[in-house]
Amino acid sequence: MTQWNIELTLSTVTAICSKPTEIAPGWPKSYHWLCQFTGAVIRRHRIRLDGHFHILITALQALLRQLLSRQGGEFKEAHSKLFSRLLTLVCQPTDSSVARSQTGKSGLDSEKDKAKRYAGQYMYLVLMQYIRLQLEYPVTHEVRAALEPGIYSILDITTQDGLRLMNDAMDPSGRVILKELYRQYQKFGKWSGI
């Protein structure tokens, strides 16, 4: 895939999610495939997203809006798990997704750390969208539980400056949700060792 194909794929995911009436009849299958396409780009072409991460963030935000704006549905929990997996793929990259083909550069661990730091500069925008959408749409406990691993992976890579930035950018009701989400993350989602 060329750079143009990668950007076109992510832009197409965003465009399809922006027109919910066009995918309404086959929404469960369509959403599944949109997540699969996005996941393939993240897994196989992550290095090419450097400098183009804003396109990925827009696609993730569109997928999240599509997921949370839908009323009920038997597939909503399964779709939430799919979306959570996408967030985890971005925030916790695999060795193969960040490995550079040239030798002589730094090892995989530093490439993974670099990829996490880079993702941390942008992924807070998806978290802010999640909080904003919770204020707009009712989100069931099952959907929240399915999204938790992905949301916690975003919090893993978000710096204290990023948290302050989110706090400053939100209204009081959004701050309450962020505070509760961070409290839950510290209690259950943050690995604390033995």
Q: Which two tokens stand for residue 102?
A: 């040239």
CA distance 52 to 182: 28
DSSP summary character for residue 24: S
CA-nearest of 55, 64, 75 to 131 is 64
Ranked by mean pLDDT, the top range of 13-22, 102-111, 142-151 is 142-151
Q: Which two tokens stand for residue 97?
A: 């997704």
CA distance 62 to 14: 6
Task: Answer yes or no: are the C-beta atoms of 128 and 141 closer than 8 Å.
Answer: no
Does the pTM surpass 0.85? The reply is yes
Residues 6+ apart with CB under 8 A from 34: 13, 16, 17, 63
CA distance 46 to 25: 32
Lowest-confidence segment of 25-39, 68-82, 94-108 by average pLDDT: 94-108
Task: Answer yes or no: are the C-beta atoms of 126 and 61 closer than 8 Å.
Answer: yes
CA distance 2 to 136: 38
- pLDDT exceeds 90 at position 103: no
Buried b (16+ CB within 10 A) or exposed e, 156-171: bbbeeebeeebeeebe
Res 188: pLDDT: 83
CA-nearest of 144, 34, 6 to 84 is 144
| Side-chain half-sphere exposure of 53, counting CA atoms within 13 A | 18
Bigger pLDDT: 103 vs 100: 100
pLDDT digit string, tens, across residues 136-151: 999 999 999 999 999 9
* Type of residue found at 116: K
Res 50: pLDDT: 87
